[in-house]
Structure 1
Amino acid sequence: MEKMQIAIAGISEMRWRGNGTTTTSSGNLVMHSGTNDGGRSGVGIYVSKQYKPALISWSPVSDRIIIARFRCNARHITIVQCYAPTEDASDDIKDDFYNALTSSLTRIERGDIKILMGDFNVKIGPNKQRIGNNHGPTWCWHSNNGDTLIDLCQTFQLVIGGTVFPHNEIHKYTWTSPNGHTRNQIDHICISRKWRRSMMDVRNRRSASIDSDHELIIGELLIKLQRNSNTVNWTTRRPPPINVQRLSDSNLSTRMATTLREQMTQPLNHSWEQTCSILRSTAEEMLGTRQRRRTEWISAHTWELISKRNSRKSKADHDCRARDEHKELCKMVKKSARNDKRKNF
């Protein structure tokens, strides 16, 4: 994400257990929503560290839907990331998903910019462009789920970004079959019709090696998030921990106790906040803080395999031999990374 300079990204088929947030070693935030047993579904939203202050709230709806609201200079933005059932799924599963998605879109604050994105597993043919312009892929046959998505977009006044911008066919597909011959556009980014002009482009990025049969699809928006906010929210960074291990030095612990005793005795009417502030400032001055160490658990051998895999990615689209080598390198990277993690944790 940092290499592609992505501010916010939606992730489908995340397969993480439960709901929660994770802060990476680089300071980026990942929110995820899934089931307790993991499973094959699960969704998530990645937010770069520069735009974490713009996050207002987020809500895990199910293992297929997650919502996040961001502070914007113009209006607030509400992003709905989803992972829809496939065409072969039962009607009950598809009805439950689209009912939950409709309910989630209905609860969005009035006036917010709606962005609906994710793996919809739907194909929208060139003759079915009732929303957006007629720039959809010409090789995709329209699917039944496509009608459902189009009706949903018409209800909530959304435009499908992949049908708006003219691109070469190779820049439109988002999924490739395991045999490498069938390609479809089943991942979409939709935006409120009123803010259609704020969307500058939508296309895939085949250069991103994400080890998936899906391509990374990127939408460029001419909307600035409000990164600097005077309000304090739960994303505020915690202060660094105190280096309490230095208290094992008897001389230092005695001097610190004497200093705290002198500061606490004058005056005697300290509030709880003032007491905490005195304790914190004295401890930082005399004990110092303990910096969290970033553990580099990926070995040099794994990074070498990753470089080889990325170099084969550009050739895999045109060369069958390079495609087979790329698949084999993907398996080797997973195996090597798994072994590295087991050695260090």
Structure 2
Amino acid sequence: MDIVVLSETKKKGHGSENLGQKSLRRCITSWEPVSPRLIKMNLSLHGKNITIIGVYAVNDDTLVKDKEEFFEQLSYEISKIGQSREIILTGDLNSRIGKKLHDKIVGQFREATLNDNGNRLINICDQNNLRILNGFFQHRDISTPGYNILEI
């Protein structure tokens, strides 16, 4: 994988780990740890200016005050980028966005469940002209015969 955003890691003890060659390192123009839950990285890749925002969102059952603070900060960071760059928002958004036919933000290929974090994420996307792309494409059903599912 060329780009990975880790939203949560667990490592016993102390230390570091070398994850191999970082071939896209030369494309990174800047990065900023915005908060313990947000990190922002700017890249210049194939002539495009891209900003990746790595997210570890608050849980859906978090206090409303804390959720408002988190989603306001996320919205602010997205609005600072504006229309000058392509934006990739990735990580653990703790959001269930449902599914909709003929919608500009949410696609039809998702589960039907919608939660409060999902509503908040949809609103941010609507305000900033963004789409939640993983719902616009049919996903393979991994429970189909022929696939191995590891249960722990």
1:135 aligned onto 2:116: no
Q: Is the 8 A contact 2:108 2:135 kept in 1?
A: yes
Show CA shifts across 1:246-273 (max 9, x none).
Answer: xxxxxxxxxxxxxxxxxxxxxxxxxxxx
Contact 2:107-2:132 at 8 Å conserved across structures: no
Whether 2:84 is the aligned partner of 1:78: answer: no
For residue 154 of structure 1, the aligned residue among 86, 102, 126 is 126
- The amino acid that maps onto 2:135 is T
Matched residue SS, 1:56: strand
Q: Which has the larger radius of gyration?
A: 1
Separation in 2 of the partners of 1:113 and 1:25? 27
Aligned to 2:5: 10
Q: What is the Cα-based RMSD across aligned positions, in Å?
A: 2.5
2:116 is matched with which residue? 144
Q: Which sections of structure 2, spanning at least 5 residues, go unmatched?
A: none
Q: What corresponds to 1:252 in structure 2?
A: none
- 8 Å CA contact retained: 2:50, 2:87: yes
Is 1:126 aligned to residue 104 of structure 2? Answer: no
Q: 2:4 aligns to what SS in structure 1?
A: strand
In the alignment of these two chains, the number of paired residues is 144
Larger RCO: 1 or 2 (CA < 8 Å, sep 6+): 2
The DSSP-based 3-state class of the residue aligned with 1:11 is coil
The aligned counterpart of 2:18 is 24
Q: What is the deviation of 1:169?
A: 4.0
Name the aligned partner's letter for residue 79 of structure 2: T
TM-score (norm 2): 0.82
Q: Percent identity?
A: 27
> Unpaired segments of 5 or more residues in structure 1?
1-5, 17-21, 29-48, 172-206, 208-313, 317-322, 328-345
Kept in 2, the 8 Å contact 1:123–1:141? The answer is yes
The aligned residue for residue 53 of structure 1 is 26
Normalising by the residue count of structure 1, what TM-score does the alignment of the two structures yield? 0.38
Q: Per the alignment, do residues 62 and 126 of structure 1 end up closer, same or farther by CA in structure 2, a change over 3 Å counting?
A: same
